[in-house]
Amino acid sequence: MRGIEYSAQEPSRTLSDRLSPFEDVLIQDSTIVRLNAKLAKIWPATRSRKVAAGVKVSVLTSAIAGGPKSVALFAENTNDIKTLKIGPWIKDRILLIDLGFYKYQIFTRIKENGGFFVSRLKSNANPLIIETHRTCRGRGIDVWGKHLQEVLKNLKRQVLDVEVEVTFNRRAYRGKEKKDAERFRLVAVYNEDEDKYHMYITNISPDLLEPEEVARLYGARWEVEILFKELKSKYALDVVPTSNPQVIEAFIWIAILTLIISRKIYKVMRRLNPEAKMVRFTQLRWSNIFSERASLILTGVLRYLGLDTSLRTSFEIGFSEALDPHVNRRRFTEEWRA
């Protein structure tokens, strides 16, 4: 936790001019680590026909920090919505979330706490259009006062940018749920390659971001997928060869710590090469170099700190680590060796 806090407090990037009104862009997502079936009672899996176990590693990553801002562990069958707690921390920040977090209550809490969000719109969502932000040229159909699904049948324009109203149930209080309504912005951008509209729901004003910019901003969610790929393919997050719960958590946190150290050195490399084409110096390519040369980097750090890195020390560590921890175990060869 200390490492994550330290990393988050040391910005490695700045947002573009278009995003200057905001403090940060955050991405929330989770990845699953498959575990030994013996742990099904502690970390039950979901949607499995047989007994299975899995831990959900929930990560909130920051564009400014260039890495995780918070990490938490849950059982795989935990609903994504329960891994995200909205509070004052979201003020003046944009949160990019996928359909696993799609809930109008969450969107409303983000808005009430002074934050912003962008989410894909559910395919069956049917909000009421109450205002149009962009006028369509030519003989565009009138969308005001209609529900989205009614409009989509005949929509021909490249971009739809409207204000919509949704209804939802507030959190139950004393056993009673109260119905409520909220206004959000709905953006639909036609994708020619897929021959369909990509639709988003947000509360970012049209004065701050154009519809196409909202769509491109949501594409930044790829950052968290790269982070998970880095953790699993380079830092062994998906290799947990034990059924001991404490050791499993240790493996997971070791992977997270490795990521933090890698990203820290990545920031240093960027600062040392200000004139280089840093857009080509990606974190994923750097993770290859870091994982291959980690032992050399560690040796350099230890020498810098004045710690012994001699061959004798390496042998002493090797001998200590090679000892079988099971002191009283009988060994077949012990009676044949002097």
Show pLDDT as tens, one digit a residue, over the chain (338 residues). 888 877 767 666 678 888 999 999 999 999 999 998 899 999 999 866 777 899 999 999 998 888 888 999 999 999 999 999 999 999 999 999 999 999 999 999 999 999 999 999 999 999 999 998 876 654 566 788 899 999 888 888 889 999 999 998 877 666 677 888 999 999 999 988 888 899 999 999 999 999 999 999 999 898 899 899 999 999 989 888 889 999 999 999 999 999 999 988 888 888 888 776 666 778 888 899 999 999 888 888 888 898 877 778 778 878 887 877 777 777 666 666 65
Q: Tell me, yes or no, whether 256 lies in a domain.
A: yes
| pLDDT of amino acid 48 | 63
| pLDDT of amino acid 140 | 60
Q: Tell me, yes or no, whether 181 lies in a domain.
A: no
Q: List the beta bridge partners of residue 166.
A: 182
Which residue type is seen at 219?
A: G
Q: Tell me, yes or no, whether 122 lies in a domain.
A: no
Number of structural domains found in the chain: 1
Q: What is the DSSP letter of 43?
A: S
DSSP for 269-293? HHHH-TTS-GGGS-HHHHHHHHHHH
| pLDDT of amino acid 11 | 65
Q: List the beta bridge partners of residue 184.
A: 164
What is this structure's pTM?
A: 0.84
Do 181 and 166 touch, CB atoms closer than 8 A?
A: yes
Q: Tell me, yes or no, whether 199 lies in a domain.
A: no
Contacts of 27 (CB under 8 A, 6+ apart): 60, 61, 63, 95, 96, 97, 220, 221, 223, 224
Full residue range of the structural domain in which residue 293 is found? 229-322
Residue 235: other Cβ atoms inside 10 A: 21
Q: What is the DSSP letter of 147?
A: B
Q: Which of 36, 37, 35, 40 is nearest to 57 (CA)?
A: 35
DSSP H helical segments within 33-131, as ranges? 104-112
Q: Tell me, yes or no, whether 34 lies in a domain.
A: no
Q: Tell me, yes or no, whether 251 lies in a domain.
A: yes
Q: What is the DSSP letter of 7?
A: H
Task: Please count the CA atoms within 13 angstroms of the CA of 313 that sit on its side-chain side.
Answer: 7
| pLDDT of amino acid 320 | 81
DSSP H helical segments within 60-204, as ranges? 104-112, 148-152
Q: Tell me, yes or no, whether 49 lies in a domain.
A: no
| pLDDT of amino acid 241 | 84
Q: Tell me, yes or no, whether 289 lies in a domain.
A: yes
Which residue type is seen at 26?
A: L
| pLDDT of amino acid 202 | 97
Q: Which of 94, 97, 98 is nearest to 111 (CA)?
A: 94
| pLDDT of amino acid 78 | 94
